Amino acid sequence: MGFGYNGNLRREDQSWPSMERLDMLQYFAYMFALQQQGISWTIWDASSYQIVNVLPKKKVDSLGENPRAENVLDAILSEFERPKRAEIRDNCKERLRNLCRFSLITGVEAPVYNTQDAFMYSCGLFTQALGSALEYVAKLKVENPDLVSRIQRNGNPGSWLYLPLEIAEAMFLETTFGVKGKFGPRSEQYFDECILGLQEERGIGYTALWCPLGPRPPGYLKQRDIQERATDAEISTKRVLLLCNWDKYYENLLADDNPTEDQNSREYRMFVKSYLEPFRRERETTAECAIRLKGELGGRKESFFVKGDEQK
């Protein structure tokens, strides 16, 4: 299971609770259920791929039309270490910590690996995988250009690197750790078709499983959609549960008998209820379960006060 970048995690004030989204539990609920059926998991933290979105055009152009894997990784790593990318580095560190914490609290027994370590410390294994992926993508552009064109680019100069990097990570995890499948949202369908095609050519049995995104915009909130130290009232306009929310906000959003609840809020509440079910204790309401897990995951607790803040 791979997890991407969340640009809302970095906090100038480290005493402030985590800005991570409770909705991450959706994926861990699926993983926990499938684990009971004998499936083992590996968690892949792909946060570092965010650096691809900020690669300067000059650096991307210098790679050429048929870049070498070593040059691609050098470009990514050198950009990642620039002083101006400190916020991205901090967000990546926080996401890695959160993934380890979510895995521990939910009982999902999975090692957690991150892309940055794979780039730097895999003794050339990721470089080899990326080399094969770049060759395969070049082949796909000729033999199946329609499939490649369906993978949307975000307008950034380096966005075309996402496809070979996604393919490379699947190859790397399979050859290094024996990972024989990929689990993620349906929005990754076309990436997965490319991965499955290459694995079939290699004679590797491989599976792609998809799950729905839930009743919210695809992917993560945009960077700084929710500002640090935002009030619960400001956060409520996004209809999202964060680990930094007060208990009362959870109670209001997840109440079964809220007379002012609109259709969208009800849909979101039922979505939260469904992914919390595997972790809910006997006689525990949805709100009580969410609040308990929020605390266990390092979120705000009722006894938490900072710089004069008080629960209203």
pLDDT digits (tens, 9 = 90+) for 13-50: 666 677 788 988 999 999 999 999 998 999 999 888 88
Which residues have C-beta within 8 Å of that of residue 65, sequence separation ≥ 6?
A: none
Neighbours of 74 (CB within 10 A): 14
- Across residues 131-154, what is the average pLDDT? 88
Taking 60 as the threshold, does the pLDDT of residue 221 lie above it?
no
Residues 44 and 182 in one domain: yes
Q: Which of 120-134, 144-158, 232-246 has the lowest mean pLDDT?
A: 232-246
Q: Contact, 310 vs 246, CB < 8 A? A: no
Q: Domain with 76 in it: what CATH number? A: 3.40.50
Q: What pLDDT, on the 0 to 100 scale, is given for residue 233?
A: 56
Residue numbers of the domain that contains 37: 2-211
- Total structural domains within the chain: 2
Question: What is the Cα–Cα distance from 48 to 2, expressed in whole angstroms?
Answer: 12
Same domain? For 166 and 251 the reply is no
Residues 198 and 108 both lie in one domain = yes
Say how far apart CA 206 and CA 168 lie, in whole Å: 14
In a domain, 112, yes or no: yes
> Based on the domain organization, do 164 and 17 belong to the same domain?
yes
**Residue in 224, 6, 229, 232 with CA at minimum distance from that of residue 98:** 6
| CB-neighbour burial class of residue 255 (10 A; exposed 0-12, middle 13-18, buried 19+) | middle
Residues 148 and 191 in one domain: yes
- Looking up tokens 């993934």 gives 99
Helix residue ranges per DSSP H, the chain = 25-35, 57-61, 69-80, 86-106, 115-121, 125-143, 145-149, 162-177, 189-201, 232-236, 247-254, 263-276, 286-296
**Least confident segment among 40-44, 132-136, 188-192, 256-260:** 256-260
250 and 107: one domain? no
Q: Tell whether 55 and 117 lie within a shared domain.
A: yes
Q: Judge whether 287 lies within some domain.
A: yes
Residue 226, in any domain of the structure: no
Instruction: Quickly list H helices, 155-208.
Output: 162-177, 189-201
Question: Same structural domain for residues 21 and 72?
Answer: yes
Q: Which of 48-52, 145-149, 247-251, 297-301 has the lowest mean pLDDT?
A: 297-301
Asked if residue 28 belongs to a domain, the reply is yes
Whether 188 is in a domain gets the answer yes
User: Could you tell me what percent of the chain has a pLDDT over 90?
Assistant: 37
Cβ partners under 8 Å of residue 138, min gap 6:
66
Q: What's the average model confidence in pLDDT over 54-77? A: 91
- Residue 310 pLDDT level (bands cut at 50, 70, 90): very low
Q: Do 59 and 149 sit in the same domain of this protein?
A: yes
Q: Are residues 27 and 141 in the same domain?
A: yes
Instruction: Find tokens 């294994």 and name the residue.
Output: 125
* pLDDT at residue 128 is higher than 90: yes
- Under the banding of pLDDT at 50, 70 and 90, the label for residue 306 is very low
pLDDT at 239: 60
- Has residue 301 been placed in a domain? no
DSSP β-bridge partners for residue 184: 210
Q: Which of 19-23, 98-102, 110-114 has the lowest mean pLDDT?
A: 19-23
Residues 202 and 240 in one domain: no
Q: Is residue 172 part of a domain?
A: yes
Query: Do 108 and 196 fall into the same domain?
Result: yes
Return d(Cα 133, Cα 167) in angstroms, integer.
6
Mean pLDDT score of the chain, rounded to an integer?
83
**Is a pLDDT exceeding 80 seen at residue 86?**
yes
Q: Is residue 37 part of a domain?
A: yes
Closest to 255 in 3D by CA, of 280, 276, 285: 285
185 φ, ψ (degrees, to nearest 5): -70, 155
Asked if 239 contacts 216 with a C-beta cutoff of 8 angstroms, the reply is yes
